[in-house]
Amino acid sequence: MLALASDHGGFELKQAVKQYLDQKGIAYTDFGCHDGEACDYPDMAEAACQAVAGKTCERALLFCGTGIGISMAANKIPGIRAAACSDSYSARMTRAHNDANALCMGGRVVGPGLAIELVEAFLTTEFEGGRHSRRVDKLSQLEKR
Ligand code: RB5
């Protein structure tokens, strides 16, 4: 189960990604927003990220105008490792090396075709573990300081 959320700047892109997920039969919960009315990305990130941190959902797909604001909000939630990506290499490597559990995209930065490539890379790439586990563990330690 994926957790989806966006503000108004990412709403249309989220809708396009939902269409792709529906076609693929990939389950998700959309934590809002549910229309294009202006709203605040920290509010929208919170419920989706709590679902991932609480293990109700496996990973989050988050959207705002740039992908940046919502990634900043997501990374404030303990247990969330969110990456704002606009290229496939980064979307793949943030899974392989950072064990990212939230992919953030900008509706004013990437089009729907590229967004779907990013989502595919993010969903199909496994964490490599090994030396990267030590580094990801250190990220968790930073949350406790
Ligand atoms: C909203 O206008 C915009 O600031 C927001 O979607 C996001 O891009 C912030 O990082």
* Cα gap 125→127, rounded to integer Å: 7
Q: Does residue 64 have an active-site annotation?
A: yes
Q: What is the pLDDT of residue 105?
A: 99
Cβ atoms of 61 and 2 within 8 Å: the answer is yes
* Cα gap 64→44, rounded to integer Å: 9
Q: What is the pLDDT of residue 125?
A: 98
The single residue of 39, 64, 85, 104 carrying the catalytic annotation is: 64
* Single-letter code of the amino acid located at 110: V
For ligand 1, the distance from its centroid to the CA atom of residue 53, given in whole angstroms, is 23
Q: What is the pLDDT of residue 81?
A: 98
Phi and psi torsions of 51, nearest 5°: -65, -35
* Cα gap 86→109, rounded to integer Å: 7
Q: Is 104 exposed, middle or buried (0-12, 13-18, 19+ CB in 10 A)?
A: buried
Q: What is the pLDDT of residue 32?
A: 97
Q: What is the pLDDT of residue 3?
A: 98
Q: What is the pLDDT of residue 93?
A: 98
Give this prediction's pTM.
0.98
CB of 11 within 6 A of ligand 1: the answer is: no
Q: What is the pLDDT of residue 31?
A: 98
Q: What is the pLDDT of residue 20?
A: 98
Residues of the chain with pLDDT under 70: none
Q: What is the pLDDT of residue 102?
A: 99
* Single-letter code of the amino acid located at 59: R
